[in-house]
A and B are shown apart, each in its own frame.
Chain A
Amino acid sequence: MTFKRRGGAVLAVAAASALVLAACGGDDDEEPTGDSGQAEEDQGSDSDSDSDSDSEASGDVCREDLGDLETQDDTIFYSTGESEWSGYNSDTPSTYSTYNNVINSRMSQSFWYWGTDGSFCEDTDFGTIEVLEEEPLTVQYTINDEVSWSDGTPVTAADFILEWGSESPTMVNADGEPLFDHVSGTDYGEYAPDGPQGDPTGKQFTVTFETTYADWNLLVGKMYPAHVVAEQAGMSIEELSQAILDGDTEAVEPAAEFWNTGWLSPNPGELPDPELVPVTGPYRLKEGGWEGGQYITLEAYDEYWGPAPGTQEIVFRFAAADTHVQALQNGDLNAIEPQATVDTLAQLEGLAPDITTETYPTLIWEHLDFNFMEGSPFADDLALREAFAMCVPRQQIVDSLITPIDPEAVVMNAREVFPFHDEYDEVVEAAYDGRYDQPDLEGAEAKIAESGAETPIDVRIGYSAPNPRRTDEVSLIKASCDEVGFNIIDVGSEDFFQPGGTQESGDYEVALFAWSGSGQIASGQNIYATGQPQNYGEYSNEEVDAEWQTLATSADPEVHLEQTKKIEKLLWDDLFGIPLFAHPGVVGYDSTLQNVRPMSAQDGLVWNEEQWYRAE
Chain B
Amino acid sequence: MLRYIFRRLGISVLVLFGAATLVFVLTINSGDPLADLRETSADNRDELIEARIRTMGLDKPWYERYAEWLRGAVGCVVPGMQCDLGVTNQGQDVLALTESAMSATLRLVIGATVLAIIVGVAVGILSAVRKYSGFDYVITFGAFIFFSLPVFWAAVLLKEYGAIRFNDWIADPRMSVTQMIIIALITGLVLQFALGGDPRRRLLTAGAAFAVVLAALAYFDADNWFRDPSMGLGVVILVSAGAGVLVTSLVTGFSERRVLYAALTTVGAGAVITFALQDVLEDGGYALLAGLFVLTVAVSVAIGAAWGGHMRRQAMLVAWVTGVIMSVVVVMDYAVSHWSAMLELKPRPVLTIGALSPNFEGDFWERFLDTGTQLLLPTVLLTLISVASYSRYTRSSMLEVMEQDYIRTARAKGVSERAVITKHAFRNALIPLTTIVAFDFASLISGAVVTEQVFGWRGMGQMFINGLRAVDPMPVMSFVLVTGAAAVLMNLAADIMYGYLDPRIRR
- Measured CB to CB, the residues of A under 8 A from B are 6, 11, 18-22, 75, 77, 79, 93-94, 177-178, 181, 183, 185-186, 266-269, 286, 288-289, 291-295, 297, 313, 315, 317-320, 322-323, 326-327, 329-333, 499, 533
Closest chain A residue to B46, Cβ basis: A177
5 contacts between A and B (CB under 8 A): A294-B458, A315-B358, A317-B354, A331-B348, A332-B352
B163 x A330 contact (CB < 8 A): yes
Q: Which residues of B, 258-294, contact A by the 8 Å Cβ criterion?
A: none
Once A266-B90, A269-B100, A291-B358 are accepted as A-B contacts, the answer to whether A320 and B454 lie under 8 Å apart by CB is yes
Looking at the complex, which one of A268, A292, A332 makes contact with B351 (CB distance below 8 Å)?
A: A332
Q: For window 437-453 of chain B, which residues contact chain A by CB distance below 8 Å?
A: 453
Q: Is the Cβ of A317 less than 8 Å from the Cβ of B358?
A: yes
Tell me which of A288, A291, A330 contacts B167 (CB under 8 A). Answer: A330
Interface residues of B in 75-126 (CB under 8 A from A): 90-93, 96-97, 100-101, 104
- Please name all residues of chain B whose beta carbon is closer than 8 Å to the beta carbon of A315 when the two chains form the complex: 358-359
Chain A residues near B167 (CB, 8 Å)? Answer: 330-331
The interface-forming segment of B37-45, B182-190, B221-229, B300-308 is B37-45
A267 touches B92 (CB 8 A): yes
In the complex, the answer to whether A318 meets B456 with C-beta atoms within 8 Å is yes
| B444-489 at interface with A (beta carbon < 8 Å) | 453-458
| C-alpha spacing A499/B38, complex, angstroms | 10
- Cβ–Cβ contact B359 & A330, under 8 A: no
Q: B40, A93: Cβ atoms under 8 Å?
A: yes
Contact A319 B47 (CB under 8 A): no
B41, B92, B167: which has the most chain A beta carbons within 10 Å?
Answer: B41
Bound-complex Cα distance A167 to B301 (A): 72
* Interface size classification for chain B: 35 or more
Query: Residues on B close to A: CB < 8 A?
Result: 36-37, 39-44, 46-48, 90-93, 96-97, 100-101, 104, 156, 159-160, 163-164, 167, 348, 350-356, 358-359, 453-458
Q: Once the chains are docked, how many angstroms separate the CA of A77 from the CA of B351?
A: 12
Q: How far is the CB of A449 from chain B (nearest CB, A)?
A: 44
Give the residues in chain B near A332, CB-CB below 8 Å.
351-354
The 7 closest A-B pairs by CB, nearest first: A293-B458, A185-B43, A319-B456, A18-B40, A319-B353, A295-B358, A266-B92
A391 to chain B, nearest CB (A): 36
Given the complex, which residues of A lie within 8 Å of B100, measured CB to CB? 268-269, 292-293
A65 to B100, CA, bound (A): 44
Q: Which residue on chain B has the smallest CB distance to residue A16?
A: B41
CB–CB B164/A330 < 8 A: yes
Q: Report the Cα distance A176→B438, complex, angstroms.
A: 58
Is the Cβ of B43 less than 8 Å from the Cβ of A327? no
- Given A177-B47, A318-B458, the answer on whether A326 and B352 have CB atoms closer than 8 Å is yes
Contacts of A286 in B (CB 8 A): 359
Find chain A residues with CB under 8 A from B46 CB: 177
Flag if B354 contacts A295 (CB, 8 Å): yes
Instruction: Summarize B's interface: helix, strand, loop or mixed.
Output: loop
| Distance between B434 CB and nearest chain A CB, rounded to angstroms | 34
CA distance A268 to B456 in the complex (A): 15
Contacts of A22 in B (CB 8 A): 36, 39
Chain A residue with Cβ nearest B152: A322
Beyond the given pairs A319-B353, A332-B351, 4 more chain A to chain B contacts, judged by CB atoms under 8 angstroms and listed by A's residue number, are: A18-B39, A181-B44, A292-B458, A293-B101
Question: What is the CA–CA distance of A293 and B104 in the complex, to the nearest angstrom?
Answer: 10
Chain B hits for A183, CB < 8 A: 42
Instruction: Write the chain B residue with the least CB distance to A315.
Output: B358
| Smallest beta-carbon distance B455→chain A, Å | 8
Residue of B nearest to A333 (CB): B353
Does A267 lie within 8 Å of B96, measured CB to CB? yes
Cβ of A236 to closest chain B Cβ, rounded Å: 28
* Chain B nearest Cβ from A256, distance in angstroms: 11
* Nearest neighbor of B166 in chain A, beta-carbon distance: A330
CA distance A18 to B45 in the complex (A): 11
Chain B residue with the shortest CB-CB distance to A11 = B41
Question: Are A178's CB and B47's CB within 8 A?
Answer: yes
Closest to A181 in B: B44
Does A330 lie within 8 Å of B159, measured CB to CB?
Answer: yes
Q: Name B93's contact: one of A18, A177, A267, A293 (CB within 8 Å).
A: A267
Chain A residues closer than 8 Å to B92, beta-carbon distance? 266-267
Residues of B within 8 A of A317 (CB): 353-354, 358, 456
B160 partner residues in chain A, CB cutoff 8 A: 326
**Assembled-state Cα–Cα distance A186/B42 (Å):** 10
Give chain A nearest CB distance to B353 CB in angstroms.
4
CA distance A93 to B45 in the complex (A): 9
CA distance A292 to B103 in the complex (A): 12
- The answer to whether A181 and B159 touch (CB under 8 A), given A294-B354, A320-B453, is no
Min CB–CB distance B93 → chain A (angstroms): 6
Whether A94 pairs with B39 at a CB distance below 8 angstroms is: no
A21 to B42, CA, bound (A): 14
How far is A20 from B93 in the complex, measured between Cα atoms in Å? 29
CA distance A406 to B453 in the complex (A): 30
Across the interface, B40 reaches (CB within 8 A) one of A19, A291, A293, namely A19
**Bound-state Cα–Cα, A293 to B353, Å:** 11
Closest-by-CB residue of B relative to A316 is: B358
Kindly provide the distance from the CB of B103 to the nearest chain A CB, expressed in whole angstroms: 11
CA distance A6 to B42 in the complex (A): 12
**Could you tell me if A6 and B41 are in contact, using CB atoms closer than 8 angstroms?**
yes
Q: Which residues of B contact A79 (CB under 8 A)?
A: 353
Residues of chain B within 8 A of A318, CB atoms compared = 456, 458
Query: What residue in chain A is nearest B38 (Cβ atoms)?
Result: A499
CA distance A507 to B233 in the complex (A): 78
Q: Does the CB pair A93–B156 fall under 8 Å?
A: no
CA distance in complex: A499, B31 (Å):
14
Cβ distance B153 to chain A, nearest Cβ, rounded Å? 12
Contact B353 A327 (CB under 8 A): yes
Nearest residue, chain A, Cβ from B466: A82
Q: Measured between C-beta atoms, what is the minimum distance from B462 to chain A in Å? A: 8
Q: How far is the CB of A208 from chain B (nearest CB, A)?
A: 23
Closest A residue by C-beta to B45: A93
- Asked whether, in the complex, the Cβ of A323 is within 8 Å of the Cβ of B358, the reply is no
Cβ 8 A contact of B156, one of A77, A297, A326 = A326
Minimal Cβ-Cβ distance residue in B for A180: B44
Contacts of B455 in A (CB 8 A): 323
Within 8 Å CB of A330, what residues of B?
A: 159, 163-164, 167, 348, 350-352
| Chain A hits for B359, CB < 8 A | 75, 286, 288-289, 297, 313, 315
Q: For A18, what are the chain B residues with a Cβ–Cβ distance below 8 Å?
A: 36, 39-42
Known: A266-B91, A329-B164. A19 touches B48 (CB 8 A): no
Partner pick for B354 among A268, A288, A319, A533, CB 8 A cutoff:
A319
- Residues of chain B within 8 A (CB-CB) of A178 are 43-44, 47
Cβ-defined contact, B358 with A294, below 8 A: yes
| Chain B nearest Cβ from A365, distance in angstroms | 22
B348 touches A20 (CB 8 A): no
Question: Within 8 Å CB of A289, what residues of B?
Answer: 358-359
Interchain nearest-CB distance for B287 vs A (Å): 21
By a CB distance below 8 angstroms, the chain A residues around B90 are 94, 266
Closest to B156 in A: A326
Residues of B contacting A297 with CB < 8 Å?
A: 358-359
Nearest CB of B to A319, in Å: 4
Q: Hey, which chain B residues are within 8 Å of A327, CB to CB?
A: 351-353
Cβ-defined contact, B353 with A323, below 8 A: yes
B371 to chain A, nearest CB (A): 11
Asked if B457 contacts A186 (CB within 8 A), the reply is no
Cross-interface CB contact of B358 among A11, A77, A186, A293, cutoff 8 Å: A77
Expressed in whole angstroms, the Cα–Cα distance for A185 and B45 within the complex equals 10
A75 CB contacts on chain B under 8 angstroms: 358-359
A21, B352: Cβ atoms under 8 Å? no
Q: A94-B90, A320-B454, A330-B348 are in contact. Are A181 and B358 (CB under 8 A)?
A: no
Q: Which residues of B contact A177 (CB under 8 A)?
A: 44, 46-47
Partner of A186, one of B43, B47, B48: B43
Provide the bound-state CA to CA distance between A269 and B458, in Å.
12
From residue B432, how far is it (CB to closest CB) to chain A in Å?
Answer: 38
If A93-B40, A183-B42, A323-B454 touch, does A291 touch B356 (CB 8 Å cutoff)? yes
